[in-house]
Amino acid sequence: MAQESGETRRQIERLREAIRHHDHLYYALDVPEVPDSEYDGLMRELRRLEEANPELVTPDSPTQRVSGEPSEGFQTVTHPRPLLSLANVFDDEGLEVWYRRAQGIIPGEEFALVCEPKFDGLAVALTYENGVLARGATRGSGTEGEDVTQNLRTVKSIPPGRRRGPPRPVRGQRRSHLSKRPLLGVQCGARGSWRADVRESQECSSGGHPAT
């Protein structure tokens, strides 16, 4: 009996690792190596084994991702360290002022500038405890944000965690945004009626609008 239980545990772990591997290829690298049908088969088998062995279910299992509606009410959380935002410039003069200020910070150093399109989205702070995603919060005021952990669990490109992670809390930031096609889908609505009150991807990607 113990031998059978050990084999089931190992089978579950193999399925989880395989699903995490394919999630990384698909959502992070955009290079899937298996068809959706094969991926769905792995997930179905993992769910079957976990339902038959609930004591083996762990918080970081791929099956524990939230698939329902994100929560609408958010609690306020205080960031352990302030989350600073980027400053804006809108003309050449503002850019020159910023460049001279940067030169004053690192005098005598040559540095290159990189420009890229700005994505309208929001910054979220992710906290992992014992290798498992424990909390996700918006930047908010920089010192206080909103707890959107439940919403972020619906984002498959955010890892739920690894149990082999460091024991102390690990924090990082991620940029979340909604691309044009999903935004248009929200604006049009399920019945094809235009929603004039949905204007920005930042609001939708944060879950701040009832439509999301």
Mean predicted confidence (pLDDT) in 94-104: 86
The pLDDT tens digits of the residues spanning 142-175 come to 888 889 888 888 777 788 876 565 666 666 665 5
Q: Is residue 13 part of a domain?
A: yes
Cβ–Cβ under 8 Å, residues 147 and 70: no
**Catalytically active residues, by annotation:** 118
Mean predicted confidence (pLDDT) in 99-119: 80
Q: Is residue 165 part of a domain?
A: no
Q: Is the pLDDT of residue 78 over 80?
A: yes
Residue 93, helix vs strand vs coil: helix
Q: Is the pLDDT of residue 76 over 60?
A: yes
Number of domains present in the structure of the chain? 2
The pLDDT tens digits of the residues spanning 17-40 come to 999 899 888 766 768 898 888 998
Per-position b or e across 71-103, b if 16+ CB within 10 A of its CB: eeebeebebeeebeeeeeeeeeeeeeeeeeeee
Q: Is residue 204 part of a domain?
A: yes
State how far the alpha carbon of 39 is from the alpha carbons of 15, 22, 186, in Å: 10, 8, 27
Domain boundary among 43, 63, 83: 63
State how far the alpha carbon of 69 is from the alpha carbons of 43, 115, 154, in Å: 20, 37, 9
Domain boundary among 42, 63, 84: 63
Q: Is residue 42 part of a domain?
A: yes
From first CA to last CA, the distance across the chain in angstroms is 47
Q: What is the CATH number of the domain that holds 53?
A: 1.10.287.610
Q: Is residue 70 part of a domain?
A: no
pTM of the predicted structure, to 2 decimals? 0.52
Q: Is residue 171 part of a domain?
A: no
Q: Is residue 74 part of a domain?
A: no
Q: Is the pLDDT of residue 121 over 70?
A: no
Q: Which domain holds residue 22?
A: 2-63
Domain boundary among 11, 45, 63: 63
